[in-house]
Chain A
Amino acid sequence: MLSRLKFVPMRLLQAVPVAFGVTLVVFFMVHLIPGNPAESILGAQATPAKVAALTDQMGLNQPVVQQYWHFLSNLAHGNLGESYTYQVPVLTLVWQRAPVTLLLVAYSVVLMLIISIPLSMLAASRPGHVRDHAVRVIPLVGLGMPQFWVGVMLLLVFAVGTGWFPVGGYGDTMMDHLWYLFLPALTLAISISPVIIRSLRASMLNVLESDYVATARSKGAGGRSLFAGHVLRNAIIPAVSIVGVNLGYLVGGTLVIEKVFAIPGLGSMLIESIFARDFPSVQAVALFVAVFVVLVGVLTDVVYTLLDPRVDLTQRMNA
C-alpha cells in the first residue's frame, strides 16, 4: 500500500519547474497592468517628481528582465517582497488569507459530494425513469448560469431575503466560519456538481452492470449494502480525476466568489492588489494558487491510489 505512494515526492519535485514557469508568466503579466504602482501609492495629488523618485527607489525603472532576476533571487531566499500597500512581507498576508480560501475550497468539495452522491445514486438506480431525467436536466440549468450570478441569487434570497445567513464576512470561530461560508461554498458546489453528477451517474451505471455486482447480488447483497459495499467506491474512482480537474476550476471560482461575499481570502487579496498595483502581493497570490493547484493534483492521485488497489503510479513514473 505505502510503496504505491512512492510517486509523491517525485511529483512534488516536479512541481518546482511548474512554479518557476508560473512566476515567469505572472511576473511579466503583472508588468502589463497599466498604471504605475508609485502613482497608486502616492495618490492622484502626488507631484510627478515625487512619483519619479519613488519609482526609482522601488527599482521599477530597471529593465523588466533585471527586475525579474531580482525577484527570483529574493524568492530563492524565501522572500517574496513587501506589500506596497501594507508595507509588510507579502508572505505574512498570504498566510493570513490562505486558510480562509482553503476552508472555502474544502467546504465546497464536501457540499459538492453531499449534493452529487445521492443525486447520482438516485439517477443511476432507475435509468430512464423520470427521476433520472430530472437529475440529469436540472443541474444543467445550474451549469448554464454564471457562478457569479448564482452567488448573487443565493445572497439575495437566503441572506438579504430570509436573513438565514450573513450577507458577507467570515466570522471569528469555526462554527461562525462554517455559517458565514455556507452560501459561497454552496455556490461553488452548485457550479461544479453537474459535471460530477454526470460522471458519477455514468460510472455507477457501469458498475451496476458489472459482473462483480452480479456476484454481490448472488451473495444476497442489495439496496444499501450493495451500494455501500460494492458500488460507491468503484464508481467514485473514475470520478476522482474529474473532481481533480475541476478543483482547479473551483479554486478559480473561489477568487471571484470571495469578492461577492466579501470574504477575506486570497481572492479578495488578489483583486485588491491588482487594483492597488501591489505587484508583490499579486505575484505571491498567483504563485500560491499555482502551487496549490499542483498539490491538489498530487492529492488527487493519492486519493486515486488509496481507492483503487490496482493503481500503481510509481510504475508509470519509472516506465
Chain B
Amino acid sequence: MSVVALSRTVEPLLSVQHLTIGIPSSGGGHATLVRDVSFEVGPGVRYGLVGESGSGKSMTLKAIAGLLPRGVEVLEGEIHFDGDDVLTMSPHERRRIMGPRMAMIFQEPMTALNPTTRVGKQIAEGPRRHLGLSKADAQELAVDMIRRTGIPDPARRARAYPHELSGGLRQRIMIAMALSCKPALVLCDEPTTALDVTVQDQVLRLLAQLCDDMGSALTFVTHDLAVVSQTCSRLSVMYAGRIMEEGNVREVYEAPQHPYTEALFQSAPDFDDPGRRLAPIPGLPPSLTDPPPGCPFAPRCQYAIESCSTGSKPLVEVRHRHLSACDLADQIFGGTR
C-alpha cells in the first residue's frame, strides 16, 4: 500500500466544519436552516444524520452536493471533500466530481428519475460523461449495474421508462445510477422513506452491500432511527438545524447523551418491545427565523432548568468519541451507568 493511500485513511473523506445555511433576506429576519454543523466521514464509513423532519438534514446534504435550492445559501463554514474545498469550486470543477467522486440518492424515487428517458440511458449518462465510455459500453455497464441491484431481466428493465417501474425498482435504479461511476462518497437523502417496510429493508441491505463492494462511504440522512442503526456505524442527531449529539451508533443507542435523542427513541416504535407505549415529543421545534437563546430543545425538554435557556450550548465530548450539546448530560445520563 502506498503512502498516499495510507495518508488518505487518516484524513477524512468528507469534512464539514461550522456549516451554517440560511436564506439571506435584505429586509432582515433571515432564516437560519442549519447552524454551526460539523462532522467528518472517513473513507468507506457509513455516517447517519438523524432528526425530525425540518431539522435541516436535507439542506446539509444538498450543501455538500452543491445542490442547494435557489435562494438558500451557505452563510458560514467549510466543506472539504477529498482535501478540496467544495464551496469555492467552480461549477465546472463541481460537475467533474459529481458522479465519479460523489453521488447522491434522493428521497422520492417517483420524481427523481427523468420521466421521458429510459432508465438504462439515465444510468449510462454518468459513465458516458465521466468514464469516457462509448454509448454501447455505457449501456452495457448500465445493464450490469441493474443486474447488481438484483433486478431480474436487467436488459429489458434498462429499456423501461420510470413510470413502468414500482417505487422499489426505481430506487434500485437510483442506486445503480449513483454507484455506476464507483463514487468515493454516496449521499443518501431518506432513500427508503417513500417505500413500504419490506421493500425498505431490501433496498437498505442492497445499498450497504454495494457500497461495501465498491468501497464507497455513505452519508445517510433519515428521520428513522431504526434505519440508521441498520445502515450506519456513526451518527449525528440533528434538531432545529443543529447537531445535538454525535457518536458511534451502538453507543448512542445504548446510552444516549442528549434528552432529545432519548425523546426520539421513546417516540419511535421498538421492534424488540412492540408493547411499549410510544411517547411523542410534546410541542414543536423552535422558529428558524427567531430562535430562542440557549438550548433549542429547552421548550420541549423534560429536564430543562433555567440555565438551559441562556448561553450557547456547544457540542462537547462527554465520553470517548461521544459528543453531546446538553449542558446537563453528565447529571442526567452520567449517573445511570
User: How many inter-chain residue pairs (CB < 8 Å) link A and B?
Assistant: 81
Cβ B115 vs Cβ A309 within 8 A: yes
Cβ A220 vs Cβ B106 within 8 A: no
Stretch at the interface among B123-131, B299-307, B321-329: B123-131
In the bound assembly, the distance between CA atoms of A202 and B126 in angstroms comes to: 28
In the bound assembly, the distance between CA atoms of A309 and B66 in angstroms comes to: 31
Query: Do A229 and B125 form a contact, CB below 8 Å, given A212-B112, A217-B67, A234-B116?
Result: yes
Cβ B106 vs Cβ A307 within 8 A: no
Cβ A220 vs Cβ B98 within 8 A: yes
Contact with A along B102-128 (1 / 0, CB 8 A): 011010100111111100000001100
Contact partners of A217 in chain B: CB under 8 A? 66-67, 98
Select B126's contact among A212, A214, A220, A308, beta carbons within 8 Å. Answer: A220
Residue of A nearest to B91 (CB): A222
Flag whether B65 is at the interface (Cβ < 8 A): yes
Query: Do A233 and B125 form a contact, CB below 8 Å, given A220-B95, A220-B99?
Result: no
Cβ B112 vs Cβ A221 within 8 A: no
Flag whether B161 is at the interface (Cβ < 8 A): yes
In the bound assembly, the distance between CA atoms of A275 and B84 in angstroms comes to: 78
Contact partners of A308 in chain B: CB under 8 A? 115-116
Contact partners of B130 in chain A: CB under 8 A? 220
Contact partners of B113 in chain A: CB under 8 A? 212, 215
Tell me, rounded to whole Å, the shortest Cβ–Cβ distance linking A314 to chain B.
16
In the bound assembly, the distance between CA atoms of A230 and B112 in angstroms comes to: 12
Cβ A219 vs Cβ B125 within 8 A: yes
In the bound assembly, the distance between CA atoms of A265 and B65 in angstroms comes to: 57
Select B104's contact among A218, A225, A233, A234, beta carbons within 8 Å. Answer: A218
In the bound assembly, the distance between CA atoms of A234 and B67 in angstroms comes to: 20
Flag whether A93 is at the interface (Cβ < 8 A): no
Flag whether B163 is at the interface (Cβ < 8 A): yes
Residue of A nearest to B98 (CB): A220
In the bound assembly, the distance between CA atoms of A138 and B36 in angstroms comes to: 46
In the bound assembly, the distance between CA atoms of A85 and B114 in angstroms comes to: 58
Interface residues of A in 278-292 (CB under 8 A from B): none
Tell me, rounded to whole Å, the shortest Cβ–Cβ distance linking A211 to chain B.
4
In the bound assembly, the distance between CA atoms of A168 and B112 in angstroms comes to: 52
In the bound assembly, the distance between CA atoms of A217 and B112 in angstroms comes to: 11
Contact partners of A309 in chain B: CB under 8 A? 115-116, 161, 163
Flag whether A310 is at the interface (Cβ < 8 A): yes
Residue of B nearest to A207 (CB): B114
Cβ A220 vs Cβ B129 within 8 A: yes
Select B116's contact among A221, A223, A237, beta carbons within 8 Å. Answer: A237
Contact partners of A225 in chain B: CB under 8 A? 129
In the bound assembly, the distance between CA atoms of A215 and B162 in angstroms comes to: 14
Flag whether A216 is at the interface (Cβ < 8 A): yes
Cβ A221 vs Cβ B115 within 8 A: no
Tell me, rounded to whole Å, the shortest Cβ–Cβ distance linking A1 to chain B.
10
Flag whether B319 is at the interface (Cβ < 8 A): no
Cβ A222 vs Cβ B95 within 8 A: yes
Contact partners of B250 in chain A: CB under 8 A? none
Flag whether B205 is at the interface (Cβ < 8 A): no
In the bound assembly, the distance between CA atoms of A214 and B66 in angstroms comes to: 10
Contact with A along B80-96 (1 / 0, CB 8 A): 00000000000110111
Query: Do A219 and B126 form a contact, CB below 8 Å, given A211-B111, A234-B115, A308-B115?
Result: yes
In the bound assembly, the distance between CA atoms of A18 and B61 in angstroms comes to: 56
Flag whether A210 is at the interface (Cβ < 8 A): yes
Tell me, rounded to whole Å, the shortest Cβ–Cβ distance linking B63 to chain A.
13
Flag whether B177 is at the interface (Cβ < 8 A): yes
Cβ B96 vs Cβ A307 within 8 A: no
Residue of B nearest to A215 (CB): B112
Contact partners of B178 in chain A: CB under 8 A? 218
Select A219's contact among B70, B99, B115, beta carbons within 8 Å. Answer: B99
Cβ A233 vs Cβ B116 within 8 A: yes
Cβ A211 vs Cβ B163 within 8 A: no
In the bound assembly, the distance between CA atoms of A217 and B129 in angstroms comes to: 12
Contact partners of A234 in chain B: CB under 8 A? 114-116
Q: Which of A220, A225, A233, A237 has the most chain B CB within a 10 Å cutoff?
A: A220
Cβ B116 vs Cβ A307 within 8 A: yes
Contact partners of A211 in chain B: CB under 8 A? 106, 108, 111-112
Residue of B nearest to A128 (CB): B70
Contact partners of A212 in chain B: CB under 8 A? 111-115
In the bound assembly, the distance between CA atoms of A221 and B174 in angstroms comes to: 16
In the bound assembly, the distance between CA atoms of A209 and B145 in angstroms comes to: 28
Contact partners of A307 in chain B: CB under 8 A? 116
Interface residues of B in 15-73 (CB under 8 A from A): 65-67, 69-70
In the bound assembly, the distance between CA atoms of A111 and B92 in angstroms comes to: 33
Contact partners of A210 in chain B: CB under 8 A? 111
* Top-7 shortest CB links A-B: A218-B104, A211-B111, A220-B99, A220-B98, A309-B161, A219-B126, A220-B95
21 CB-based A-B contacts, threshold 8 Å: A210-B111, A211-B108, A212-B113, A212-B114, A214-B67, A215-B104, A215-B114, A215-B174, A218-B65, A218-B104, A218-B106, A218-B178, A219-B103, A219-B126, A219-B177, A220-B126, A222-B91, A229-B117, A229-B125, A309-B161, A309-B163
Known contacts A212-B115, A216-B114, then 10 further A-B pairs from the complex at CB < 8 Å, ordered by chain A residue: A209-B70, A214-B67, A218-B65, A218-B106, A218-B178, A220-B98, A221-B95, A237-B116, A308-B115, A310-B161
Residue ranges of A at the interface with B (Cβ–Cβ < 8 Å): 127, 209-212, 214-223, 225, 229-230, 233-234, 237, 307-310
